[in-house]
């Protein structure tokens, strides 16, 4: 409540205020100031306030010539009687803020994943052109990742996961599917262009929907099924018009699609309820896949062929060949590690969508770098397949 009040001399003195031209001292207010109310029936009567006073204005600051006393008239109100400010403060919704942060984080994961994948595919194709041994190349990729993670755990750069027999038992089918998909994709790229392999592998959403529908019993709306038509049709058109078509390369890409769909589904199930992070999960997956793949790689290709092929590649390429092998092995692990970190927070179907959209950058970059000849009808097939993937992602939303 606003009121005119007058400060008594005892509560605010002016000794030496103007005559000596000194700086104004800071008033020292008592928590219980003595105030004279001008509106009181008894002007000379003082009262004390138990509540804080907020000064609204100060008027008539002057010194009386007769008394040399300073009289101040001010307007004040008690804190609990002030009117509330008509200000509307809208706090951001906590759920919306967390959801936005999650989307940004996933976006960063996807961008990093795609960039690392492009670099891997470039070096992988260079290695396979000079050293056509996809089984050994696949083995070296898994070995490099396993070694990197063992070093990270030993140096405490990353915390080692706490696992038990049940964890490795659950991981085993994931490792089998991962091994098959990895080798099949590498075999495909050793026989055909990188762009063709990834055009065929852009059909992964079709495999994902079919497996989820017929094996897992999941149902999808009609737009999802309709979006599979351009995906399958585009892949078929690209395959029929591919200049350097190779059945082994085509089948390798198809097998890789199916294997990776199962890997993603098993991975999501295996990670649910587990305390192992996506990064450590993939590290364990690489190690188990390495144990599965190594004896098969030796049986299929053999160390004698590897030795001859290695010497030939080094003699033709030079020391850079060793760098290519190291680069493709390290970048393979890094891009997969980032993809599994994103799988912590998304569904297998969303993972497949991101994996398919990633192929756009791989296809374009590989065509530019390796000067891959592309017919217009072949490019049309790739565009139709990619359009189908876009429609699929929209239908899933």
Integer CA distances (angstroms), 287 to 141, 146, 159, 284, 309, in order: 11, 5, 16, 5, 26
Tokens of 304: 């004698």
pLDDT > 50? residue 117: yes
pLDDT reading at 115 higher than 80: yes
SS3 assignment, position 140: helix
How far, in Å, CA of 133 to CA of 309, rounded?
8
Residue 47 phi, psi (nearest 5): -145, 155
Beta carbons of 128 and 366 less than 8 angstroms apart: no
Query: Is the separation of the CB atoms in 378 and 241 below 8 Å?
Result: yes
Q: Calculate the CA 197 to chain-centre distance.
A: 26
In Å, how far are 185, 208, 239 from 378, measured between CA atoms?
20, 24, 8
- 378 or 176: whose pLDDT is higher? 176
**For residue 123, what pLDDT band results from cuts at 50, 70 and 90?**
very high
Residue 188 has pLDDT above 70, yes or no: yes
Mean pLDDT of 40-69: 51
Q: Which of 154, 188, 177 is nearest to 288 (CA)?
A: 177
The CA radius of gyration of the chain, in Å to the nearest whole number, is: 37
Reduced to 3 states (helix: H, G, I; strand: E, B; else coil), residue 40 is coil
In total, the chain counts a number of residues equal to 397
Alpha carbons 397 and 391: distance in angstroms, whole number = 10
Provide the pLDDT confidence category of residue 307 given band limits of 50, 70 and 90: very high
- Between these two residues, 166 and 63, which has the higher pLDDT value? 166
pTM score, two decimals? 0.70
What is the Cβ-side half-sphere exposure of residue 326, based on CA atoms within 13 angstroms?
Answer: 6
Yes or no: say if 170 and 177 are a contact pair by the CB < 8 Å rule: no
What is the rounded CA–CA span in Å between residue 314 and residue 27?
A: 87
Please give the structure tokens belonging to residue 201.
């592998």
294 close to 82: Cβ distance less than 8 angstroms? no
């Amino acid at each position: 409540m606003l009121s005119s009040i007058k400060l008594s001399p005892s509560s605010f003195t002016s000794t030496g205020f103007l005559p000596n031209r000194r700086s104004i001292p800071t008033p020292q207010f008592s928590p219980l100031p003595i105030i004279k109310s001008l509106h009181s029936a008894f002007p000379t009567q003082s009262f004390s306030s138990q509540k804080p006073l907020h000064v609204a204005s100060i008027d008539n600051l002057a010194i009386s010539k007769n008394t040399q006393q300073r009289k101040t008239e001010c307007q004040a109100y008690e804190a609990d009687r002030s009117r509330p400010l008509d200000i509307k403060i809208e706090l951001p919704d906590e759920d919306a803020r967390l959801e936005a942060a999650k989307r940004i984080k996933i976006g960063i994961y996807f961008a990093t994943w795609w960039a690392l994948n492009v670099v891997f595919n470039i070096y992988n194709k260079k290695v396979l052109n000079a050293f056509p041994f996809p089984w050994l190349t696949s083995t070296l990729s898994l070995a490099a990742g396993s070694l990197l993670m063992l070093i990270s755990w030993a140096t405490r750069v990353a915390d080692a996961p706490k696992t038990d027999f049940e964890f490795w038992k659950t991981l085993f089918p994931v490792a089998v599917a991962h091994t098959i998909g990895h080798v099949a994709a590498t075999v495909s790229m050793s026989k055909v262009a990188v762009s063709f392999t990834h055009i065929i592998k852009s059909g992964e959403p079709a495999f994902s929907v079919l497996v989820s529908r017929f094996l897992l019993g999941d149902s999808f709306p009609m737009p999802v099924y309709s979006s599979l038509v351009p995906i399958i049709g585009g892949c078929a058109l690209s395959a029929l018009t591919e200049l350097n078509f190779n059945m082994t390369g085509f089948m390798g890409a198809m097998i890789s699609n199916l294997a990776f769909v199962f890997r993603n589904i098993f991975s999501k199930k295996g990670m649910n309820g587990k305390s192992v992070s996506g990064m450590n999960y993939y590290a364990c997956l690489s190690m188990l896949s390495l144990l599965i793949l190594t004896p098969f790689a030796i049986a299929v290709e053999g160390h004698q062929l590897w030795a001859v092929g290695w010497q030939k590649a080094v003699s033709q390429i030079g020391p850079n060949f060793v760098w290519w092998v190291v680069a493709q092995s390290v970048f393979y692990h890094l891009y997969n590690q980032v993809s599994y970190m994103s799988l912590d927070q998304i569904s297998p179907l969303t993972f497949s969508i991101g994996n398919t959209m990633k192929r756009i950058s791989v296809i374009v970059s590989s065509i530019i770098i390796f000067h891959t000849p592309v017919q217009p009808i072949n490019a049309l097939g790739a565009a139709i397949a990619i359009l189908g993937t876009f429609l699929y992602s929209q239908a899933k939303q």
